[in-house]
């Protein structure tokens, strides 16, 4: 799921938010008539079909039980990062810290590369 902004996934949400910012910036300079014109002129983004087709093509023969390397003896390098976004609550009595974190996973899967 790409979030709650739109149904087209994260890229469609980004395009939708960029369009909304553009509308707000232009409408401030054009006045009331500008609002009506921009509401009619703003395109609607629907990337659902294309996103589904892309994921199907990328993951068609993907097996989650296989190591994504050409040679079984090759090492698989993974790295991750953790970013603390917010401390939500601290319970000193029970020694609990409730946080909001972002987890970044980075890998270089040889089998996931598409052919040139």
User: What angle do the packed helices 10-41 and 48-59 form, to 10 degrees?
Assistant: 160
> What is the rounded CA–CA span in Å between residue 77 and residue 5?
34
> What is the rounded CA–CA span in Å between residue 49 and residue 95?
47
Selection from 113, 24, 30, 17 nearest residue 70 by Cα: 113
Look at the chain and report how many structural domains it folds into: 2
The reported pLDDT for the residue numbered 75 is: 83
The reported pLDDT for the residue numbered 90 is: 93
34 plus 13 within the same structural domain? yes
The answer to whether position 11 is within a domain reads yes
Q: What is the pTM of this model?
A: 0.35
11 alpha-carbon distance from chain centroid: 6
Strand partners, 91: 96
> What is the rounded CA–CA span in Å between residue 42 and residue 19?
7
84 plus 35 within the same structural domain? no
54 plus 14 within the same structural domain? yes
The reported pLDDT for the residue numbered 92 is: 93
89 plus 44 within the same structural domain? no
Torsion of CA 60, 61, 64, 69, to 10 degrees: -130
90: left (phi over 0), alpha (psi -120 to 50) or beta: beta
The reported pLDDT for the residue numbered 32 is: 52
The reported pLDDT for the residue numbered 91 is: 92
The tens place of each residue's pLDDT in the chain, 116 residues long, gives: 444 444 455 544 444 444 455 555 555 555 555 555 555 555 555 668 888 888 888 778 777 777 777 788 888 788 889 999 999 999 999 999 999 999 888 877 665 555 54
78 plus 107 within the same structural domain? yes
55 plus 4 within the same structural domain? yes
The answer to whether position 102 is within a domain reads yes
55 plus 81 within the same structural domain? no
Sign of the four-CA dihedral 32, 37, 39, 40: positive
55 plus 77 within the same structural domain? no
The reported pLDDT for the residue numbered 68 is: 74
56 plus 78 within the same structural domain? no
The answer to whether position 14 is within a domain reads yes
Q: Which domain holds residue 2?
A: 1-60
């Amino acid at each position: 799921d790409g979030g709650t902004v739109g149904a087209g996934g994260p890229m469609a949400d980004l395009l939708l938010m960029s369009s909304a910012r553009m509308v707000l910036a232009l409408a401030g300079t054009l006045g009331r008539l500008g609002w009506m014109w921009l509401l009619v002129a703003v395109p609607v983004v629907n990337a659902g079909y294309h996103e589904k087709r892309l994921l199907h093509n990328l993951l068609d023969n993907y097996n989650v039980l296989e190591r994504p390397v050409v040679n079984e003896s090759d090492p698989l390098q993974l790295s991750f990062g953790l970013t603390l976004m917010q401390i939500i609550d601290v319970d000193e009595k029970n020694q609990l810290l409730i946080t909001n974190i972002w987890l970044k996973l980075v890998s270089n899967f040889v089998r996931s590369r598409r052919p040139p």
